[in-house]
Amino acid sequence: MKTTILITGGAGFIGSHVVRLFVTKYPGCRIVNLDKLTYAGNLANLRDIEKNSNYEFVKGDICDAGLVQQLFEKHDFGGVIHLAAESHVDRSISNPMEFVNTNVIGTVTLLNAAKQHWKASLAAVLKGRLFYHISTDEVYGTLGKAGKFKETTAYDPHSPYSASKASSDHFVRAYYDTFGLPVVISNCSNNYGSYHFPEKLIPLAINNIKNNKPVPVYGKGENIRDWLFVEDHAKAIDVIFHKGKIGDTYNIGGNNEWKNIDLINLLCRIMDQKLGRVKGESAKLITFVKDRAGHDLRYAIDSSKLQRKLKWKPSLKFEQGLERTVDWYLSNEEWLTNVTSGEYKKYYELQYVAR
């Protein structure tokens, strides 16, 4: 193997797409997937590549300093792609400490391991090693009707989730400035696509519409998000990992701004068509609920730096990506049933113990 790359959170939504891309695109590289397998971590997401010779799964917590150090010593990682994180804003409001532990302490634990393992190497040897930290546009706060987040936008987080991610970003930059650790950071907009745990807006709505359950929409549905197809995000991560400038930050956006209510109405129309329902039937399920505390009004990403310098751009318009996403969920009802019931977890826990 040319090198070994550690991907944290590789059993999650975005992480599984990144793991799949790297395992299949770079057969000469070994990919080690470290995941705690919380409620959102699902090894069923990686069934198609789990037996590949250049792939290894390790069940573990990024806060476990002993385990992380052990893995660095065993594999001599040439790079780290750090995706493991608690990411659901509602959960961060009910349990902020869980987000502090995973997103802040976990990130610093990984940074320390990289620093300690790579410190014995001279600068010349460090060349080629990289700690790549994946973050969110929510660290920037909220926007008015105009403007977009740039890499230079000041941080202004409004939820425990975004505050924990902002803190982790600051630690990554501090390790670059203080210790010379080779790092790069990317901040992405809202992702959507296959294998998304159905607590987030789009998979939740698809599942509820399919089962004729209420589709909750916060407030009046006026909040605006920039939506990024997850496979496009994985490709951007690939480009940044291999071509990004050490110490730089790159924003990744889909250039797809939608009001939540307009998104849900579009989704209802697609679901009516796919399920053979009367036009407008699914829209009757829309239920407005009390707005979330600290709910940012608008996010929009300016990804021109990434497009200009590294030649990446999103491949799909939102309508195309959303229809592909709906098709995937309707064709993978077993996955959706198992992930919501916890059945997949029982199976993979037994498989893991059996090894």
Q: pLDDT tens digit string along 53-108?
A: 999 999 999 999 999 999 999 999 999 999 999 988 888 999 999 999 999 999 99
Q: Which residues have CB under 8 Å from 159's CB, separation 6+?
A: 89, 92, 93, 138, 293, 294, 296
Q: How many CB atoms lie within 10 A of CB 187?
A: 24
Q: Which of 29-38, 90-99, 342-351 has the lowest mean pLDDT?
A: 342-351
Residue 161 falls in the annotated catalytic set: yes
Task: Give the mean pLDDT of 8-34.
Answer: 97
84 in the Ramachandran plot: left (φ > 0), alpha (ψ -120 to 50) or beta?
beta
Q: Which of 77-86, 288-297, 301-310 has the lowest mean pLDDT?
A: 288-297
Catalytic-labelled residue, pool 35, 61, 86, 138? 138
Judged against a pLDDT cut of 60, whether residue 235 lies above it is answered with yes
Query: Binning pLDDT at 50, 70 and 90, where does residue 123 land?
Result: low
pLDDT confidence of residue 346: 57
Judged against a pLDDT cut of 90, whether residue 229 lies above it is answered with yes
- Phi, psi of 337, rounded to the nearest 5 degrees: -65, -45
Residues composing the chain: 355
Provide the 8-state DSSP code for 183: E
pLDDT confidence of residue 354: 41
Query: What amino acid is encoded at 214 in this protein?
Result: P
Task: Give the mean pLDDT of 328-349.
Answer: 76
Residue with tokens 């294998």: 195
Mean pLDDT of the chain: 92
Judged against a pLDDT cut of 60, whether residue 34 lies above it is answered with yes
Residue 137 falls in the annotated catalytic set: yes
As a CATH number, domain 3-191+229-253+296-316+342-354 is 3.40.50.720
pLDDT in tens, 240-282: 999 999 999 999 999 899 999 999 999 999 999 999 999 999 9
Domain boundaries, the chain: 3-191+229-253+296-316+342-354
pLDDT in tens, 201-213: 999 999 999 999 9
pLDDT confidence of residue 230: 97
pLDDT confidence of residue 111: 98
Catalytic-labelled residue, pool 132, 140, 161, 195? 161
Q: Are 5 and 76 in contact (CB under 8 A)?
A: no
Judged against a pLDDT cut of 50, whether residue 122 lies above it is answered with no
Strand 215-218 vs strand 190-192: parallel, antiparallel, or unpaired?
unpaired
- Report percent pLDDT > 70 for the chain: 94
Nearest residue to 82 via CA among 175, 154, 159, 160: 175
Distance between CA atoms of residues 133 and 138, nearest Å: 15
Catalytic-labelled residue, pool 137, 151, 231, 302? 137
Query: Binning pLDDT at 50, 70 and 90, where does residue 353 land?
Result: very low
Q: Which residues have CB under 8 Å from 246's CB, separation 6+?
A: 130, 176, 182, 183, 184
Judged against a pLDDT cut of 80, whether residue 125 lies above it is answered with no
In a 13 Å sphere around the CA of 99, the CA atoms on its Cβ side amount to 20
Q: Which residues have CB under 8 Å from 240's CB, separation 6+?
A: 132, 184, 186, 250, 306, 310, 312
